[in-house]
Structure formats: C-alpha cells, structure tokens
Amino acid sequence: MTERVIALVDAGRHKPLPPQAEPAAGPARDRLGRALRDLRISVTDRCNFRCVYCMPKEIFGKDYPYLAHSALLSFEEITRLAKIFADYGIEKIRLTGGEPLLRRNIERLIEMLAAITLPDGRRIELTLTTNGSSLAKKARALKDAGLQRVTVSLDALDDATFMAMNDADFPVAKVLAGIDAADAAGLAPVKINMVVKRGVNEHSILPMARRFKGSGHVLRFIEFMDVGATNGWRMDDVIPSRDIISMIGEQMPLEAIDPNYPGEVAERWRYRDGSGEIGVISSVTQAFCRSCTRARISTEGMLYTCLFATSGYDFRSLLRGGKSDAEIRAAIAAVWGARDDRYSEIRSAETAKARKIEMSYIGG
C-alpha cells in the first residue's frame, strides 16, 4: 500500500486577527454569548498509537513529517500564554496531544502551569488526557508536579479489538495498569473515554460498563466524530449515545443527573444502585455548541475556537514577535469576540468533507 502523507498544518491555515479593541472587564464573550472558560493545549503532534479515528497508519506512517522541535511552543511560551488566558477568565487547562506524555520533561511544564493563580486567588484546574501507555510509570511524578486529574482513552477490554483500534499492538493490561497507578497516585476520579464506532467496538460497550461500574472511575462513551480529514468518517459508523444509554440501562438501570458545571460536554447518568456514573458525549446527534466554552492551542501556537475548525490564529508569532502581555490579551479578546462557531449544529454531508484540522494536532 502506498503511504499517503497529509501534513497536520495543511488544514491549519492562518486567519488574520480580527480588529482589536480594549478588552472588556470580566470573562470574554463570543457572538453567541458563550464565555471563555476552558483551554486545551496540545504539547506534541506525536503519538505512539495509530488509532483509526485519529491517526490512521496509512496517513501517519513511519515517514510522516512531524513538526520540528523548534516549531513547538516552549514550556515558557505555553506558561506565558496560559497566564494571559487565566487573567481573562480561563479556569481549566487540559494538556493534550498527540500523546502528551511523549513530550520530554512534561512534569516540568505541569509544575509551571500548576503555579498559575486566577484573579480570585484560586489555583487553575489542571488536567491531562493520555492513551495510558506511559501512565503506570509517570502517574506519581505527574501528581507530585501538580496535575490534578487524568482522562485515559480506552476503546475496548479485549486485546483483539483494542489493538484493532490503536493499530499499535499495545495491550489493554498496560492501560489498565496505568489507570490503577493514576488512581493510587490521587489523580482521581479518573475519566475513561471510549470512542464507539459501529462495526468495530460496539460489542465492548457492556463489558466496559461492567468493568468500571463501582470502580470510582467515570466511563464516558464518545460518538465517532468527523474530526479532521483522515479518519474516513461516515454517519453510518455513528452509534447514537441514546442507543448506548438504552443498551446499558437495560442491564444496569440508570438515571440522568445534572451536569457538574455549565458547559460540561458529557451528559451524566448514574447507576440507580449507587455504584457510580457514566457519561455520553454526543457531539454528532445532540449538538452542545451553544454551551461550548473551549479554546484550543495547537502544538506550535495556533489558536482554534472549535474542534472542527478549518483554520486558526497564529499566536506563536505574537509570543516570539515581542508583543506585550496586554497586546496578546487584546488579541485573545478579539478572536473570542468574533467567534460564532457551531459546527455540530450545522453538520451535513458536505461540511463533513471539509478539510478540518486533525484531532492529533489540537487534541480532542
């Protein structure tokens, strides 16, 4: 098979910054009145998995041209940008990738970010999403550095299905060991994300629910999404979250519960016997665009205002071009103030074909 190479930045075309004005006091608001509350920062475009819904091997092969280290935001640049965002209403930072634990000395970055305080004196909430491959050996150091929680991707419990999904011959047992290590280190409650794709792993829904019921962890089922341009998304491959809830509820009765906070993407359900909760993320069948409070920073400093974006804003040039914190803050306000993204609400067969930024570039 001939390897196709699609550069991550092909879909990351730069947009000019919107006209800037003096930022208003308080949290930034976009054109739909949505506050800026959450920041996701991708720290690497590399991953040791080749998940079929994210970095399929036929695209991201052994000769794939990843970004040079000099192109990545440094830890100092990431921290400076995060502090500016925190001054402007951000309350939560999630580190993503690629696989963020592949970024050398990631614990040092966590220490730097964990020291950020919000205007009211609180420490910023700091979390990380990982495939779990290095979590068993890193969990304690991550916690000691100041990380508060982790989310682990796990798409099945049997090795055959899991390896078919990750396409890297990586066994389930090592991910489960990482989850146990994270729990023991105090990175709890651990959230476990399962992307469900019809014809691939839907038979794993009930085993996953049974495995984590009563564990104290929160299992979340994610509808297969049309992120990027390489995962071959089709609507026929999507299993609606309502069907997942129905399937589980027939075996283990569930009841809906309120979100933890405004803008939470996962719809929450708890077991009626009190043995924990699950969540579903339904961005395909039940769009939650109108409550989205997330901005995303790519590995080399592009700011994206939607997971399904086709282009972003170049903040690395601001960081490296001598701009002051006040100037960067004004740029953030301008970008967010111009935001009107609602991709999932207007999704169609045509929009699904658009050349969107890859999930491995800006995180999920």
C-beta separation of 359 from 54 below 8 A: yes
Does pLDDT of 28 surpass 90? no
Does pLDDT of 7 surpass 50? no
- Asked whether residue 156 is domain-assigned, the answer is yes
Query: What pTM was computed for the model?
Result: 0.89
- Asked whether residue 1 is domain-assigned, the answer is no
- Asked whether residue 18 is domain-assigned, the answer is yes
- Asked whether residue 188 is domain-assigned, the answer is yes
- Asked whether residue 3 is domain-assigned, the answer is no
Does pLDDT of 40 surpass 90? yes
Strand partners, 14: 312
- Asked whether residue 239 is domain-assigned, the answer is yes
- The reported pLDDT for the residue numbered 123 is 93
Amino acid identity, position 342: R
- Asked whether residue 2 is domain-assigned, the answer is no
Does pLDDT of 283 surpass 90? no
**Distance separating the N- and C-terminal Cα atoms of the chain:** 29
Strand partners, 268: 257, 279
CA nearest neighbour of 214 among 231, 237, 189? 189
| CATH code for position 190 | 3.20.20.70
Please state the domain count of the chain.
Answer: 1
- Asked whether residue 221 is domain-assigned, the answer is yes
Q: What is the pLDDT of residues 165-208, one digit of tens each?
A: 888 889 999 999 999 999 999 999 999 999 999 888 999 999 99
E-strand ranges in 160-226 read 191-196, 218-223
- The reported pLDDT for the residue numbered 352 is 60
Amino acid identity, position 163: M
Please give the residue range of the domain that contains residue 337.
8-362
Rg (CA), the chain: 20
Q: What is the pLDDT of residues 246-270, one digit of tens each?
A: 999 999 999 999 888 776 788 999 9
